[in-house]
Structure 1
Amino acid sequence: MNSLSEIVEVVIGVDTHVETHTAAVVDARTGAVLDELTVHTTPQGYQDLVDLADAHSALRVWAIEGTGGHGAGLVRHLGRAEEVVVELDRPERTKRRHGAKSDLLDAVRAAREALARPKLGTPRAGGDRQALSVLLAARRSAVDASTVAQRQLFSLVIAAPEHLRTKLRGRKLPEMVRVAARLRIQSNWDRESAATATTLRTLARRTQALTIEAADLEKQILAIVRSWRPDLLDQPGIGPIVAATVLCAWSHPGRIHTEAGFAMLAGVAPIPANSGQVTTRYRLNRHGDRQLNRALHTIVLVRQRYHEPTKAYTDRRTTQGKTPREIRRCLKRYIA
């Protein structure tokens, strides 16, 4: 595709929010705004947007921001109607900083940005991918909350009354959690000791419950990965969480145009920073899907420890003068 304007007659840009969506119908050849409408995020509101598009042209495409978030309901409605949807990230900040800001203007910007892009992305798929996405989010929340509870438990033990601290001192954190979860309040304790022991027991039991919850969610994630792409689990350094993260970013065939595009999505593609006669300088890519970047980083760390070819590569690059950080960046790009 050379240009979107060669294929469609209008582009409907949509600025999505929790309660309302604002759409702007833009002429694909001139960029002129032909119509606009703000609707509520209900099935009737979504149908009103389709009716708005029907009033202009059947040769159309939708350019929507937040297809996996605020715009998810609209994208599902358009999918059932077999409409063509283009996924857009937020407009560039420099373009917004020097101009006005409104829902209509953002909708117009979305449409015109779709017209200007040489390559267009499609929304992430539903089904198994969406199931993995919500399970990963729930597991991440459980793990983070468990980590916070353990840190609080450890800090409180340090400042606890001596008779409580003696029971927990010198233990590894998992054992400390088990002991704290079984603490019993003595009737002859003072108020500080009773309150501290109660809090330690509460935090320990919260940690145990969240750990069980995270393990159950991981089992559900593993079941979906095994039914969808079990070959990923055969790769060294890839477990169910890493595989699910990769699948959520990749979504479906055709969404990522090239392996270089996947590397850019993961934030592991080196960015050229050449100037004049300097042609070998690159910058670190801090953009892209950071969860996917983290998954690739996990693969690298596991392979550097247990995978013999990766260990040999690391040794060879080390003798060539590469730093550990530079070696990891090379490996992440290769794995992508």
Structure 2
Amino acid sequence: MVVLGIDAHKRSHTVVVVDDNGRKLGERTLGTTTADHLALLTWAEKFGSERLWAVEDCRHLSRRLERDLLGAAERIVRVPPKMMAQVRDSARSYGKSDPIDALAVARAALREPDLPTAHLDGPAREVRLLAGHRDDLVAERTRTVNRLRWHLHELDPGWEPAARSLWRPKNLSAITERLAGLDGLVARLARTHVDRCRDLTSQIRELDRELELLVTRLAPTLVALCGCATLTAAKIIGETAGVERFRSRHAFARHNGTAPVPVWSSNRHSFRLSRTGNRQLNAAIHRIAITQAHYHPQARELLQRRRAGGDTKAESIRVLKRRLSDVVYRALLADLDRISQPQQVADAAA
């Protein structure tokens, strides 16, 4: 078997072929269109029919390539960039280039047999795109509100609008009334920012309604968890990108950064908070943990028990997050089974 490591970029892909011992057999750089990918498949056939494609996990760069290869019934695994960098640093060669990176991707795929396999994008990508677009709109609205505040301060330093609520319709209407009798450039810019805040708020609310319908349909078990509202569930679904690609709850915990890191020697065993993993997914689980620490009886009991046993507040929250990672993993599996059952019945009927 040969492994074809791919270093993906916006305008080009570099491919390096290695055998099962990691020896380099060939190299090629080509474009990123579907025609280029078909030419790549033709070139790869000369190395044999038993092959595995290894792609650096940068899906915004490799999505079209993966789609074309999967359409041709090829096997693809995704190599995390950090793992590829570690292999490159341990090699005998120096420097960094596209062929060196592609070779490191291929050798990392040989070294790690349980890498996640690539599959065609599904509803999880739609949720991720919608949630990401909403985050962009919220950030833009925040910048607009900050500029509006400075203009209002310049017009009337003694007037201080309500904090953290300037985007609300009633507050924007009150500002519009105060700006009605003012002339000049600053007042005109302030009115422009008010209109922009209204427009952004309308778009954000429309996205909220769309996300609520989509997330409720895809993951009702996840949304039913205490502390997991629509936006948190959307972030979990989008960043997980298919729970079936994780072989166990432990692999999922390692991916989201809730798995503890051992930092001990000799007789004293201790662990610390992990700073690795998907930080967006970790933040979503952290929000659930903080909410359950206030409102969920079993979570409160766990935290009290850990604090009584000598854990600090941060250590007890870390333990709760690790437990919640398993709960989220089971909820995602339950939702996946619920969605797949009707499809299996339809396939059996056909």
TM-score bracket relative to the smaller structure? 0.7 to 0.9
Please show how residues 18-167 of structure 1 align to structure 2 within 5 Å.
18-28=10-20, 30-90=21-81, 91-92=84-85, 95-96=88-89, 99-123=94-118, 125-157=120-152, 159-162=153-156, 165-166=157-158
CA distance in 1, matches of 2:57, 2:319: 32
> Please, which runs of 5 or more residues in structure 1 have no aligned partner?
1-8
Name the counterpart of 1:291. 280
SS of 1:236's equivalent in the other structure is: coil
CA distance in 2, matches of 1:271, 1:14: 31
Compared CA separation, residues 316 and 114, structure 1 to 2 (3 A):
same
Count of aligned residue pairs for this structure pair: 317
Name the counterpart of 1:331. 320
Name the counterpart of 1:5. none
SS of 2:78's equivalent in the other structure is: strand
Q: Deviations over 1:99-127 (max 9, x none)?
A: 22111111111101110114211236512
TM-score (norm 1): 0.86
Compared CA separation, residues 264 and 182, structure 1 to 2 (3 A):
farther
Percent identity over the alignment is 28
Name the counterpart of 1:255. 245
Compared CA separation, residues 205 and 181, structure 1 to 2 (3 A):
farther
* CA displacement at 1:183 relative to structure 2: 4.7
Match of 2:175 among 167, 174, 180: 180
SS of 1:69's equivalent in the other structure is: helix
Match of 1:15 among 7, 11, 14: 7
On the 8 A contact 1:68/1:123 being kept in 2, the answer is no
SS of 1:11's equivalent in the other structure is: strand
Compared CA separation, residues 140 and 239, structure 1 to 2 (3 A):
same
RMSD of aligned C-alpha atoms? Answer: 2.3
> Please, which runs of 5 or more residues in structure 2 have no aligned partner?
326-350
Structure 1 or 2: more helix by fraction = 2
SS of 2:244's equivalent in the other structure is: coil
User: What is the identity, as a one-letter code, of the residue corresponding to 1:261?
Assistant: A
On the 8 A contact 1:67/1:75 being kept in 2, the answer is no
* CA displacement at 1:94 relative to structure 2: 7.9
TM-score (norm 2): 0.83
* CA displacement at 1:250 relative to structure 2: 2.8
* CA displacement at 1:303 relative to structure 2: 1.4
Q: Deviations over 1:82-107 (max 9, x none)?
A: 11100012222584497221111111
Match of 1:223 among 213, 216, 221: 213
CA distance in 2, matches of 1:251, 1:53: 29
On the 8 A contact 1:183/1:201 being kept in 2, the answer is no
User: What is the identity, as a one-letter code, of the residue corresponding to 2:321?
Assistant: K
On the 8 A contact 1:124/1:252 being kept in 2, the answer is no
* CA displacement at 1:208 relative to structure 2: 2.4
Compared CA separation, residues 116 and 220, structure 1 to 2 (3 A):
same
Compared CA separation, residues 182 and 64, structure 1 to 2 (3 A):
farther
CA distance in 2, matches of 1:67, 1:170: 44
User: What is the identity, as a one-letter code, of the residue corresponding to 1:221?
Assistant: L
* CA displacement at 1:279 relative to structure 2: 4.0
Q: Deviations over 1:30-67 (max 9, x none)?
A: 32221211111101111111112112111111000135
* CA displacement at 1:219 relative to structure 2: 1.8
Compared CA separation, residues 315 and 31, structure 1 to 2 (3 A):
closer
* CA displacement at 1:235 relative to structure 2: 1.2
On the 8 A contact 2:254/2:277 being kept in 1, the answer is yes
On the 8 A contact 2:240/2:281 being kept in 1, the answer is no
Name the counterpart of 2:343. none
On the 8 A contact 2:13/2:30 being kept in 1, the answer is yes
* CA displacement at 1:256 relative to structure 2: 0.7
Q: Does the alignment pair 1:280 with 2:269?
A: yes
Compared CA separation, residues 80 and 101, structure 1 to 2 (3 A):
same
On the 8 A contact 2:54/2:109 being kept in 1, the answer is yes
